[in-house]
Amino acid sequence: MIARLDAIRRLADGWGLLTDRSDVRWASGFGGSSGWLLVGPDQAHLVTDARYSERARLEIGSRPIDVVTIDASNDRYRIVGRLAGERSIAVRSSAVTMDDLARFESLGTRLRPVDFSGLRRIKDPLEVETIRRAASIADRALADVVALIDVGVTEVDVRDELDHRMRRYGADGPSYDTIVAAGPRHSAVPHHQPTRYAFAAGDPIVIDVGALVDGYHSDMTRTFVVGEPSDHFRRWYSAVAEAQKAGLDAVRPGVECRVVHEEARRRFGDEAPWFVHGTGHGVGLDIHEEPFLNGSSAATLCEGEVVTVEPGLYRVGFGGVRIEDLVVVRSEGADILTSSPKDLLCLPSRPTT
Amino acid sequence: MIARLDAIRRLADGWGLLTDRSDVRWASGFGGSSGWLLVGPDQAHLVTDARYSERARLEIGSRPIDVVTIDASNDRYRIVGRLAGERSIAVRSSAVTMDDLARFESLGTRLRPVDFSGLRRIKDPLEVETIRRAASIADRALADVVALIDVGVTEVDVRDELDHRMRRYGADGPSYDTIVAAGPRHSAVPHHQPTRYAFAAGDPIVIDVGALVDGYHSDMTRTFVVGEPSDHFRRWYSAVAEAQKAGLDAVRPGVECRVVHEEARRRFGDEAPWFVHGTGHGVGLDIHEEPFLNGSSAATLCEGEVVTVEPGLYRVGFGGVRIEDLVVVRSEGADILTSSPKDLLCLPSRPTT
What pLDDT is stored for residue B2 in this prediction? 77
Tens-place pLDDT, residues B89-100? 999 999 999 999
What pLDDT is stored for residue B30 in this prediction? 96
List the domain range (segments joined by +) for residue A241.
125-347
List the single residue in B with minimal CA-CA distance to A101: B98
Residue A317 is assigned to a structural domain of this protein: yes
Hey, is A45 helix, strand or coil?
strand
Q: Is the ipTM of this complex over 0.95?
A: no
> pLDDT band at B57, cuts 50/70/90?
very high
Flag if B93 and A97 touch (Cβ within 8 Å).
Answer: yes
Considering the domain architecture, whether residues A36 and A150 belong to the same structural domain is answered as no
Mean pLDDT, range B8-20, rounded to an integer: 96
Last residue of a domain, one of A113, A143, A172: A113
CATH number at B288 reads 3.90.230.10
What DSSP state is assigned to residue A303? Answer: T
Considering the domain architecture, whether residues A154 and A102 belong to the same structural domain is answered as no
What pLDDT is stored for residue B336 in this prediction? 98
Tens-place pLDDT, residues A226-281? 999 999 999 999 999 999 999 999 999 999 999 999 999 999 999 999 999 999 99
Considering the domain architecture, whether residues A146 and A102 belong to the same structural domain is answered as no
Residue B269 is assigned to a structural domain of this protein: yes
Chain B touched by A277 (CB under 8 Å): yes
Chain B touched by A168 (CB under 8 Å): yes
- Partners of B19 on chain A (C-beta within 8 Å) are none
CB atoms within 10 A of CB B94: 16
Flag if A164 and B160 touch (Cβ within 8 Å).
Answer: yes
Flag if A167 and B160 touch (Cβ within 8 Å).
Answer: yes
CA B42 to chain A, closest CA, distance in angstroms equals: 27
Domain count, chain A: 2
Mean pLDDT, range B101-116, rounded to an integer: 96
The neighbouring-strand residues paired with A307 are A282, A327
> pLDDT band at B1, cuts 50/70/90?
low
CB atoms within 10 A of CB B215: 18
List the single residue in B with minimal CA-CA distance to A54: B189
Last residue of a domain, one of A60, A78, A113: A113
Percentage of residues in chain B having pLDDT higher than 70: 99
Chain B touched by A276 (CB under 8 Å): yes
pTM to 2 decimal places: 0.92
Residue A118 is assigned to a structural domain of this protein: no
Residue A353 is assigned to a structural domain of this protein: no
Mean pLDDT, range B189-197, rounded to an integer: 93
Q: Which of A91, A160, A276 sits opposite B167 (nearest CB)?
A: A160
Considering the domain architecture, whether residues A165 and A300 belong to the same structural domain is answered as yes
Query: Quick one: which of B53, B75, B78 has its CA closest to B66?
Result: B53
Considering the domain architecture, whether residues A83 and A187 belong to the same structural domain is answered as no
CATH number at A49 reads 3.40.350.10
- Answer yes or no: are the C-beta atoms of B216 and B135 closer than 8 Å: no
What pLDDT is stored for residue A233 in this prediction? 96
Flag if A32 and B191 touch (Cβ within 8 Å).
Answer: yes
Average pLDDT, chain B: 95
- Answer yes or no: are the C-beta atoms of B265 and B272 closer than 8 Å: yes
CA–CA distance, B40 with B5 (Å, rounded to integer)? 9
CA–chain centroid gap for A121, Å, is 12
Tens-place pLDDT, residues B233-251? 999 999 999 999 999 999 9
Considering the domain architecture, whether residues B92 and B233 belong to the same structural domain is answered as no
Flag if B93 and A113 touch (Cβ within 8 Å).
Answer: no
Tens-place pLDDT, residues B141-177? 999 999 999 999 999 999 999 999 999 999 999 999 9
Q: Which of B52, B54, B156 sits opposite A316 (nearest CB)?
A: B54
Considering the domain architecture, whether residues B198 and B321 belong to the same structural domain is answered as yes
The neighbouring-strand residues paired with B174 are B211
- Answer yes or no: are the C-beta atoms of A81 and A107 closer than 8 Å: yes
- Answer yes or no: are the C-beta atoms of B152 and B198 closer than 8 Å: yes
Hey, is A258 helix, strand or coil?
helix
- Answer yes or no: are the C-beta atoms of B193 and B148 closer than 8 Å: no
Q: Is B315 exposed, middle or buried (0-12, 13-18, 19+ CB in 10 A)?
A: middle
Exposure string over B17-41, b if 16+ CB within 10 A, otherwise e: bbbbbbbbbbbbbbbbebbbbbbbe
Q: Which of A163, A167, A191 sits opposite B32 (nearest CB)?
A: A191
- Best to test chain B binding among A23, A49, A55, A221 (most B CBs inside 10 Å): A55
Considering the domain architecture, whether residues A107 and A136 belong to the same structural domain is answered as no
Backbone φ and ψ of B334, nearest 5°: -80, 125
Tens-place pLDDT, residues A131-151? 999 999 999 999 999 999 999
How many beta-carbon pairs below 8 A join chains A and B?
A: 105
List the single residue in B with minimal CA-CA distance to A273: B50
Q: Which of B52, B55, B188 sits opposite A54 (nearest CB)?
A: B188
CA–CA distance, A325 with A337 (Å, rounded to integer)? 7
Q: Largest alpha-carbon pair distance within chain A?
A: 77
Q: Which of B113, B172, B191 sits opposite A55 (nearest CB)?
A: B191
Considering the domain architecture, whether residues B61 and B203 belong to the same structural domain is answered as no
Q: Would you tell me which residues 82-111 of chain A have a C-beta closer than 8 angstroms to some C-beta of chain B? A: 91, 93-99, 101-102, 111
Flag if B54 and A102 touch (Cβ within 8 Å).
Answer: no
Residue A261 is assigned to a structural domain of this protein: yes
Query: Quick one: which of A15, A49, A16, A12 has its CA closest to A30?
Result: A49
A141 HSE (CA, 13 A, CB side): 33
Residue B235 is assigned to a structural domain of this protein: yes
Residue A352 is assigned to a structural domain of this protein: no
Residue A24 is assigned to a structural domain of this protein: yes
Q: Which of B52, B160, B316 sits opposite A54 (nearest CB)?
A: B316
Considering the domain architecture, whether residues A197 and A299 belong to the same structural domain is answered as yes
What pLDDT is stored for residue A351 in this prediction? 54
Q: How far apart are the first and last CA of chain A?
A: 55
Percentage of residues in chain A having pLDDT higher than 70: 99
Q: Across chain B, where does the E strand assignment appear? A: 15-18, 35-40, 43-48, 66-69, 89-91, 111-113, 173-174, 179-182, 204-209, 211-213, 216-217, 220-226, 280-282, 289-293, 306-309, 312-315, 319-322, 325-330, 333-336, 345-347
The neighbouring-strand residues paired with A43 are A40
Residue A62, pLDDT above cutoff 60:
yes
What pLDDT is stored for residue A1 in this prediction? 64
CA–CA distance, B8 with B13 (Å, rounded to integer)? 8
Last residue of a domain, one of B79, B113, B147: B113
Considering the domain architecture, whether residues B108 and B131 belong to the same structural domain is answered as no
Considering the domain architecture, whether residues B134 and B24 belong to the same structural domain is answered as no
> pLDDT band at A42, cuts 50/70/90?
very high
Tens-place pLDDT, residues B269-325? 999 999 999 999 999 999 999 999 999 999 999 999 999 999 999 999 999 999 999
